[in-house]
Amino acid sequence: MLLDQIIIQTVNGIVTGMILALVASGLTLIFGIMDVVNFAHGELFMLGAYVGVITIVATGSFWIALLVATLVIALLGAVIQITTLRPLLGRDPLTTILATFGLSLVLQNYALWQFGPVARKIPEPFTGHFQLFYLDYPWYRLAIALLSAAIIGALWLFLKFGTYGIWIRATTQDRVMASAMGIPVPWVHTAVFAIGAGMAAASGVLFGPLVGVNHAMGLDWVLKAFIVVVVGGMGNLGGSIAASIFISLLEAYASLWVSPAQAVIVSFVALILTLLFRPTGLFVPTPK
Amino acid sequence: MSRHSPVAFWTGFAVVLALLIVAPLVLPEFWRRFVTEILIWGLLAMSSDILIGYTGMVSFGHSAFFGLGMYGAAAALLTVKPPNLWLAIVYGLVAAAGVAVFVAYFSTRLRDIYFSITTLIFSQIFYVMIFTWTEVTGGENGLSFRRPALAIPGLFSIPFDSNSLHWFVLAVVAVSYLVLRRITRSPFGMVLQSIRENEPRTRAVGYAVERYKIVAVMLSGLFAGLAGVLYAVHNRFAAPDYVFFLISGEVVIFNVMGGIGTLVGPLLGAAFFLLLREGFSRFFTEFYLIPVGIIFTAMVIFMPQGLLGFLRRRLNE
C-alpha cells in the first residue's frame, strides 16, 4: 500500500508543483528583470482568485473567468508598478520589499473588507475522475498541471522569440544599453510586472477549485514561492520551475508521515540546506 | 555622528523620561496601557534598528525573537512556583538567544534581500513549530498565566499594578536604550556601520565581517526577546500570533516610519503606528491596515528618512 501512496503523492506533488511554478516564475521574472522582490505577489494570486469567483458568478464560465482574472490583475499590476515601484527605480532593492509589503497589507485587508472572512468556492470546470489505485483522482488536477505547463511554456517561447520578449531579456542584461538602443525600459518594467501579476492571478483561479478562496490564501503561497525562488536561484526561470516541483514533492512525501501543517517544515529545511551548501541555488550551474 | 552636545542629549532624555514617569499618574487607564505598549513595541523596534539601521540588514524575522521571549517567559511563569519575574526574564532571554544563535549562524551568510527572506522563513519555522506543538505551547490558543510580583528575594515583594508595571517597563526600556546607544557608538557599533556602508572594504581592512554580523543579530535578538518578556508580563499571555511574520513586518514598518539608524526614530515610529492604528480602527474597525498600509507605502516612496529625518530636515531649513 505504501507504494500506492507514494505514487499518489508524487502525482499530487507534481500538480501542486506546477501551480507553484506558475506563481514562482512570475515572482522570479519580476525579480530578475526589475530587482523587485514582490511581497504582494501572494495578494495578486488571491485577488485573481476572487476576480475569478466574481466572473464565474456573472458568466458561469470557468474559462472566461480565467481570462478575465488574468487580464484584470495584469492591469492592476501595471497600475501598481507605475504608481508604487516606478518611483523606486534605482533605489535599494530593499525599499521595494517594504513598498510591496505595505501594498500586500492593503490588498489583503481590502479583500477581507470586500469579500468577508467566509471562503468562496470556484466550481471545477469539469468533474470527471479516473481510477488511481484506491482513489478517484479528478482529471481537473491533471488539467491544472498541464495548463500551468502550457502557460509557462508560452512565457518561455515569448521570451525566447517574441520581439517584446527580446526587449525584456535585453533589459535584464543591461538596462542602460537597452535604453540606449531605443527600448522603452520603464514600460518594459511595467509590462513585466503586469505579466507576473497576470500569471499569479491565473494560478489563483486554477488553484481555486482545490481549496476555498479566502483573503489569507496568498500568504502561504508567497512564502512558498520565496522558498522556491531562493532554492532555484533568484531570477532563474528554469531553476524556479525545477525547485517548485522539487519542494512540492518533498512536502507531498513528508505529509505521508506528518500533518500537512508540519510538512511545511521540510521545505524550510530544504531552504536552509540550500543556503548552507549552495547559496546561489540548487538548480543553477555552479558559478565560475 | 550627532551634532548635539551631550548636555542637550541628557537634558532631552531627562525631560522625556520625566514625562513618561508622570504619564500614568495623569492619563486615564486606557491611555496608560497604551503608553506602556508603545514602550514595549518601541524596544522591539529599537532592537531591530541595530540590524536595519546600523548594519544595513533588513530583518523580517524579529517576530521569532519576540515570540520566543514571550514563550520563554511563559515557560518560567508556568513551571516555577511561585512565578518569578527575574526567572521569566532569564528564560525569555535564553529562549530568544537560542533562536538568535540559530538564525544568526545561517542567515548572516547571505546579504540584502536574501537575508530578509531567510529571516522571514526562519520566523515561519518557529511559528509552525509553536502552532502545531499543541501539548507544550497551547497551539493556536497560546498560553496564559498570572503576572509575577515585582520582588527581590529577602527584600520586598509587591504585586504589579498598572502604574508600577509602567514604571518597570519604562526602566527596562530606558536602560536598554542607553545600552543600545552606547553599543552603536562603541568601536563595535562603528564596525557595524562600516559594514552597512561598504562591506567588501570593511572585510579588506581586516574585520571578520561574518562574526560581527552574527554578534549583531544576537544582540538584536536578545533585546527583541526582552521586549517579548515585557509584553508577556504586561498582557499575561503568549500566543502564536506574535511569532507570525506580520509582527516582523510591523517592526520594519516602525523603523521605516520613524527613521532607521536613529534608535529614537523606531520608538517614535512605533508610537506613530500605534496611534494611527488606534485612530483608524475607530473608523475602519479591523480594516485599519488599509489606510495604514497606504500611508506606509507612501512614506517608503516619499519619506525614505522616516518621520525623524523628515522633521530634522524641516527644522534645519
Query: What one-character-per-residue DSSP string does chain B give?
Result: ---S-HHHHHHHHHHHHHHHHHHHHHS-HHHHHHHHHHHHHHHHHHHHHIIIIII----S-HHHHHHHHHHHHHHHHHHSSS-BHHHHHHHHHHHHHHHHHHHHHHHTTS-HHHHHHHHHHHHHHHHHHHHH-HHHH-GGG-EE-PPPBEEETTTEEE---HHHHHHHHHHHHHHHHHHHHHHHHSHHHHHHHHHHH-HHHHHHHT--HHHHHHHHHHHHHHHHHHHHHHHHHHHTEE-GGGTSHHHHHHHHHHHHHH-TTSSHHHHHHHHHHHHHHHHHHHHHGGGTHHHHHHHHHHHHHH-TTHHHHHHHHHHH-
Identity of residue B98? G
Residue A278 binned pLDDT confidence (cut-offs 50, 70, 90): confident
Name the residue among B58, B252, B290 with its Cβ closest to that of A106: B290
Angle (deg, nearest 10), helices B264-284 and B245-258: 110
Residue in the structure block whose three cell numbers are 479516473: A130
How does the average pLDDT of chain A come out, rounded?
A: 83
Give A279's DSSP letter.
Answer: T
Q: What is the pLDDT of residue B200?
A: 87
In sequence order, the 6+-apart residues with CB closer than 8 A to the CB of B206 are: none
d(CA A71, CA A205): 12
> What mean pLDDT do residues B87-106 have?
87
> Å from B154 to nearest chain A CA?
46
Which residue of chain A has the CA closest to B299? Answer: A99
- ipTM for this model: 0.81
Residues A227-240 have pLDDT tens digits of 888 888 777 788 88
Q: What is the CA radius of gyration of chain B?
A: 19
> What mean pLDDT do residues A250-264 have?
81
> Å from A265 to nearest chain B CA?
6
d(CA B229, CA B71): 8
> What mean pLDDT do residues B72-95 have?
84
For testing contact with chain A, the best of B117, B127, B253 (most A CBs within 10 A): B117
d(CA B316, CA B145): 50
Which residue of chain A has the CA closest to B246? Answer: A105
Closest by CA position to A159, among listed A184, A191, A203:
A191
Q: Does A98 touch chain B (CB under 8 A)?
A: yes
The whole model's pTM is what?
Answer: 0.84
Q: What is the pLDDT of residue A71?
A: 92
In sequence order, the 6+-apart residues with CB closer than 8 A to the CB of A210 are: A141, A144
Residues A13 and A249 sit within 8 Å (Cβ to Cβ): yes
Closest by CA position to A223, among listed B226, B215, B128:
B128
Q: What is the pLDDT of residue B317?
A: 54
Q: Which CATH number fits domain A2-117+138-277: 1.10.3470, 2.20.25, 3.10.290, 2.60.120?
A: 1.10.3470
Which residue of chain A has the CA closest to B249? Answer: A101
> What mean pLDDT do residues A82-111 have?
84
Instruction: Using the predicted structure, report yes or no on whether residue B160 has a pLDDT greater than 80.
Output: no
For residue A88, which residues of chain B lie inside 8 Å, CB to CB?
300-301
Instruction: Using the predicted structure, report yes or no on whether residue B309 has a pLDDT greater than 80.
Output: no
Identity of residue B181? R
Q: Does A101 touch chain B (CB under 8 A)?
A: yes
Instruction: Using the predicted structure, report yes or no on whether residue A135 has a pLDDT greater than 90.
Output: no
Q: What is the pLDDT of residue B237?
A: 82
Interface of B with A (CB under 8 A): 58, 60, 106, 109-110, 112-114, 116-118, 120-122, 124-125, 128-129, 131-132, 249, 252-253, 256, 286-287, 289-290, 292-294, 296-297, 300-301, 304
Q: What is the pLDDT of residue A94?
A: 76
Question: Peptide bond before B82: cis, by omega within 30 degrees of 0?
Answer: yes
- Is there a contact between A279 and B110 if contact means CB atoms under 8 Å apart? yes
Residue A288 binned pLDDT confidence (cut-offs 50, 70, 90): very low
Residues A184-212 have pLDDT tens digits of 888 888 888 999 899 999 988 888 888 77
Q: Does A1 touch chain B (CB under 8 A)?
A: no
> What mean pLDDT do residues B84-113 have?
84
Q: When comparing pLDDT for A26 and A89, which is higher?
A: A26
Angle (deg, nearest 10), helices A217-232 and A2-34: 80
